[in-house]
């Protein structure tokens, strides 16, 4: 298949990546807000935790959409996967996002490990997003005329 037939797919991927990074930024802000409120024992808005969960669910959905677009687009254009380190970077980011979401559902006073895992995973996810962005840029260059 040729590039023009896949141009719409790459546009969706670009928007999804941008929105994923925005979601990560918003999750960082709301997460720090909740962390500070817990550490200082001050009250937090009742809607904050729900907002954090909704943004997190959106980010999971966007990252899974990116995975699907990457697989379909690469198979459609090249006929096989694994043409660059972007596949590995993407799979690691997907894994980190799913680990973060899974650990978030386990956070409670009785399971302190879940909060540590969630925060630690999200710190590592920053490097993952950086890596997948850099490798993605080199992949995009292959598709441009």
Q: What is the pLDDT of residue 75?
A: 84
Q: What is the pLDDT of residue 143?
A: 66
pTM above 0.85, yes or no: yes
Residue 46 gets which letter from DSSP? T
Q: What is the pLDDT of residue 65?
A: 96
Q: What is the pLDDT of residue 1?
A: 44
Domain count, the chain: 1
Q: What is the pLDDT of residue 84?
A: 85
Distances in whole angstroms, Cα of residue 92 to Cα of each of 54, 87, 96, 111: 22, 9, 6, 25
Partnered with residue 111 across adjacent β-strands are 108
Q: Which residue ranges of the chain lie beneath pLDDT 70?
A: 1-6, 143-145
Q: What is the pLDDT of residue 128?
A: 97
Domain that holds residue 51: 3-143
Contacts by 92-95, CB closer than 8 A, 24 or more apart: 92/128, 92/131, 92/132, 93/63, 93/125, 93/128, 93/129, 93/131, 93/132, 94/63, 94/64, 94/67
Check if the beta carbon of residue 134 is closer than 8 Å to that of residue 116.
no
Partnered with residue 108 across adjacent β-strands are 111
Q: What is the pLDDT of residue 51?
A: 97
Q: What is the pLDDT of residue 8?
A: 79
């Amino acid at each position: 298949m040729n590039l023009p037939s896949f141009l719409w797919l790459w546009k969706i991927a670009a928007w999804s990546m941008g929105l994923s990074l925005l979601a990560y930024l918003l999750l960082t802000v709301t997460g720090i807000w909740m962390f500070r409120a817990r550490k200082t024992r001050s009250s937090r808005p009742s809607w904050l935790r729900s907002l954090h969960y909704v943004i997190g669910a959106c980010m999971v959905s966007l990252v899974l959409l990116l995975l699907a677009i990457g697989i379909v687009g690469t198979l459609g254009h090249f006929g096989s996967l694994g043409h660059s380190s972007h596949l590995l970077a993407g799979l690691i980011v997907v894994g980190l996002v799913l680990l973060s979401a899974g650990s978030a559902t386990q956070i409670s006073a009785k399971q302190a490990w879940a909060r540590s895992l969630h925060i630690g995973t999200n710190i590592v996810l920053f490097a993952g997003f950086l890596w997948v962005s850099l490798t993605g840029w080199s992949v995009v260059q292959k598709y441009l005329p």
